């Protein structure tokens, strides 16, 4: 019999696959090996099976599952892998898939402690969009916000983002956030100290996560392994933990792609004269024109330019 299940944890060659409240200890079938392939002129390593994947397996005589098939992914979180000697050609970098089939990217920011940083927020948004993961902006510590902070809420609402304001300690709008992640697979992102663990503990008091269990981008060297895990925080509700991942540099976002991940910029791109326009200096750029007319806010345009600047253009070798 073939069983279909959800991969919740991987430890070296051991795969833990959940099907109807049962966890099966599985291995990959022999012909399933890590492979390298080219995608969009880039060398990628499909880490074959990652957490969040739905897989088919059959039990062997010893009661272990042998995985022989991965179901098609609706999306996946990936990053540029660290440079590995021998695996790269002329400085190009591999794509490392961390987790698949993610329903929500919950991007948590705070108005204060730490101070709100719109460029950091925009980076998380771009990562979510580049991975095709629906994102929601969660402003925690709304109890600390002053009047001026409304500016940012309005700005992101205007640009078509889903944004909710909450407080973990004052219990504001916690039910709203809960309804978003109930029975879904979500990943929490945000700078250290914005209250990710506090939020999770407030929503799921029985989970009793230690502060810091849900890793963030900025924490250095706390964990040693780099295997993501699905934590079942409540029946059929999963959080993705990506220990040791300091920073997710979105994979495959080229300078030409970037504008498409900024809602307010994207809509003007079709009107640029050149289809190679990066909206920085090119003539007849509809984006810059929109900016000069005040249709794109200065903060967003500068954030875009800043990110554009930081994208390393991989050498094309094909
Ligand atoms: P993480 O690093 O993102 O997981 O953040 P933590 O959950 O560890 O929270 C960092 C600090 O912010 C802790 O001292 C929390 O008590 C505090 N905190 C969390 N949520 C709120 C909130 O809604 N309002 C206020 N005022 N403080 C909060
Ligand atoms: Zn342009």
Rounded Cα gap, residues 308 and 33, in angstroms = 36
Shortest-distance atom of ligand 1 to CA 194:
3
Answer yes or no: is the C-beta of 248 below 6 A from any ligand 1 atom. no
| pTM, entire model | 0.88
Residue range 165-214, pLDDT digits in tens: 999 999 999 999 999 999 999 999 999 999 999 999 999 987 766 544 44
Shortest-distance atom of ligand 1 to CA 170:
23
Helix (H, G, I), strand (E, B) or coil at 20: coil
Answer yes or no: is the C-beta of 197 below 6 A from any ligand 1 atom. yes
- pLDDT (0 to 100) of residue 317: 36
Rounded Cα gap, residues 145 and 317, in angstroms = 49
Answer yes or no: is the C-beta of 195 below 6 A from any ligand 1 atom. yes
- Tokens found for residue 306: 């800043």
Q: What is the dihedral of CA 227, 228, 234, 236, to 10 degrees?
A: -110
Contacts of 108 (CB under 8 A, 6+ apart): 138, 140, 188, 189, 190, 194, 195, 196, 199
Shortest-distance atom of ligand 1 to CA 192:
2
- Who has greater pLDDT, 40 or 10? 10
Q: Identify the sign of the CA torsion 234, 239, 242, 247.
A: negative
Q: Has residue 304 got a pLDDT over 80?
A: yes
Q: Find the 169 Cα to ligand 1 centroid distance in Å.
A: 8
Residue range 263-278, pLDDT digits in tens: 999 999 999 999 999 9
Answer yes or no: is the C-beta of 110 below 6 A from any ligand 1 atom. no
Ligand 1 test: best mutation among 176, 193, 222, most atoms within 8 Å of CB?
Answer: 193
Answer yes or no: is the C-beta of 215 below 6 A from any ligand 1 atom. no
Q: Find the 195 Cα to ligand 1 centroid distance in Å.
A: 4
- Tokens found for residue 93: 């970098």
**What value does the mean pLDDT take over residues 81-109?**
74
Residue range 89-101, pLDDT digits in tens: 455 566 778 899 9
Answer yes or no: is the C-beta of 192 below 6 A from any ligand 1 atom. yes
Lowest-confidence pick of 215-224, 231-240, 268-277, 294-303: 215-224
Number of H helices, E strands in the chain: 8, 15
- pLDDT (0 to 100) of residue 86: 53
């Amino acid at each position: 019999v073939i069983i279909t299940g959800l991969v919740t944890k991987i430890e070296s060659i051991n795969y833990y696959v959940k099907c109807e409240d049962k966890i099966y200890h599985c291995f990959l079938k022999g012909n399933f090996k890590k492979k390298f392939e080219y995608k969009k002129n880039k060398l990628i390593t499909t880490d074959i099976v990652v957490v969040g994947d739905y897989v088919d397996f059959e039990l062997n005589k010893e009661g272990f599952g042998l995985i022989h098939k991965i179901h098609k992914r609706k999306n996946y979180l990936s990053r540029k892998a660290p440079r590995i000697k021998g695996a790269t050609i002329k400085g190009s970098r591999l794509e490392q898939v961390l987790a698949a089939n993610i329903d929500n990217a919950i991007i948590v920011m705070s108005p204060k402690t730490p101070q709100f940083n719109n460029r950091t927020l925009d980076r998380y948004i771009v990562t979510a969009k580049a991975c095709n993961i629906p994102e929601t902006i969660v402003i925690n510590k709304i109890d600390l916000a002053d009047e001026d902070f409304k500016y940012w809420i309005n700005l992101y609402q205007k640009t078509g983002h889903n944004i909710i304001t909450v407080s973990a300690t004052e219990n504001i709008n916690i039910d709203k956030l809960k309804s978003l992640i109930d029975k879904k697979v979500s990943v929490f992102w945000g700078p250290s100290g914005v209250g990710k663990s506090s939020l999770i503990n407030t929503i799921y008091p029985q989970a009793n996560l230690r502060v810091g269990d849900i890793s963030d981008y900025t924490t250095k060297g706390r964990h040693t392994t780099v295997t993501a895990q699905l934590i079942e925080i409540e029946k059929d509700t999963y959080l993705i933990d990506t220990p040791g991942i300091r920073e997710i540099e979105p994979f495959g976002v080229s300078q030409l792609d970037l504008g498409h991940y900024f809602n307010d910029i994207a809509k003007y791109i079709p009107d640029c004269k050149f289809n190679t326009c990066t909206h920085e200096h090119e003539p007849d750029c509809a984006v810059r024109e929109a900016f000069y007319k005040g249709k794109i806010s200065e903060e967003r345009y500068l954030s875009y330019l800043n990110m554009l600047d930081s994208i390393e253009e991989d050498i094309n070798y094909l």
